[in-house]
Homo-oligomer: A and B are copies of this chain.
Amino acid sequence: MTCAAAVQPTSFIRIPFDHWVLAAGDRFEDAAQCALPGDGVVPMRLHRAMRYAVLDGGKRVRPLLVYAAGEITHAEGEPLDRAALAVEFVHAYSLVHDDMPCMDNDVLRRGKPTVHIEFDEATAMLAGDALQAEAFKVIADGGLPASQTAALMRELAHASSTAGMCGGQAIDLDAVGTTPGIDQLERMHRMKTGALLKAAVLMGALSGHPAALTEATREALARYGEAVGLAFQVVDDLLDVEASTAELGKTAGKDAEHSKPTYVSLLGVQATRAWSLRLRAQALEAIDGLGPSAARLRELADFIVCRKS
């Protein structure tokens, strides 16, 4: 972690949003390059698979949320990098395992063969397992005061648990072939995708000055995180029917193919689009009182709802 980029996406200097997205993405990529074990280090195949799963791909929505939320508490670069790495490692591990034959059995992710196709199933399973451990390690090895380190790890552990991401995955699995109500679908998505996106927001804020994170601010950020977390999934469902495989970099139309219940299958395209916009409004309302330091978070709410892939 000595090769952190010179770019400081956490700075208040007002560069345009799309430039900031690129700069933050580059910064994250550099941090991930440094933080992941080298592919020349034994066990090389495992390290290659982990790097393959994380590097050079994805929209990096979670890291962007970390960097943006860090502005609220004037967080510094390296602690933010570590929080961003931690959430993205958990996200990446969940994709690797989710793509495996016993789950979604998908062969394409981010425009590349999935990890179990490029390597093998055993390596994919281990790479996922190791990325989860690496997520906690990258926080544990950061130089923040213990109270912040412990709070960050707690946030990550809860978001990854059966009350969060893993629980949502299991509910999703149980729901295949059934027709859940909209409430059940929402609960599943709040856990499966929403919990980690919300954790990204809170972990960004937890990486800065504790005094700047009042209880009210924390609650505002939690509400923002919940709204954008759910909006992200609602838009994902829309894109699965509207975008092409080339645009998505993963197999399009697979929800319908697998008879997976989605917002679109339950509500139709128009109502789903309308709902994504209401969630965006909820997210903006939640952080209305946070002033100019929440500018990036506001832009990110738009980015998440209006994205095309």
Contacts and interface: CB of A to CB of B under 8 A. Distances in A.
Interface of A: 37, 42-43, 45-47, 50, 93-94, 97, 100, 102-103, 120-123, 125-126, 128-130, 132-134, 136-137, 140-141, 145-147, 149-151, 153-154, 156-158, 160-167, 169-171, 173-174
B174 A43 contact: yes
Given A100-B102, A132-B132, A146-B150, 9 more contacts: A43-B167, A100-B125, A132-B133, A133-B164, A136-B153, A137-B158, A137-B161, A149-B150, A149-B153
Q: Tell me the interface secondary structure of chain A in the complex.
A: helix
Given A50-B162, A167-B43, A174-B45, A153 B130 contact: no
Contacts of A93: 129
B45 A130 contact: no
Given A137-B158, A167-B46, A173 B122 contact: yes
A173 B136 contact: no
Nearest to A162: B130
Q: How many copies altogether? A: 2
A133 B157 contact: yes
Contacts of A129: 93-94, 97, 128-129, 132, 166
A50 B161 CA distance: 12
A92 to B, nearest CB: 13
Contact of A134 (B125, B162, B165, B169): B162
A154 B142 CA distance: 10
B166 A130 contact: yes
A170 B43 contact: yes
B154 A133 contact: no
20 contacts: A42-B167, A43-B162, A43-B167, A43-B170, A43-B171, A43-B174, A47-B162, A103-B125, A122-B173, A126-B170, A130-B161, A132-B132, A133-B160, A134-B162, A136-B156, A136-B160, A140-B153, A140-B154, A140-B157, A153-B153
A59 to B, nearest CB: 23
B130 A102 contact: no
B174 A157 contact: no
A36 to B, nearest CB: 9
Nearest to A155: B140
A175 B146 CA distance: 39
Contacts of A126: 97, 166, 169-170, 173
A237 to B, nearest CB: 21
A193 B145 CA distance: 31
A174 B44 CA distance: 10
Contacts of A156: 136
Contacts of A163: 37
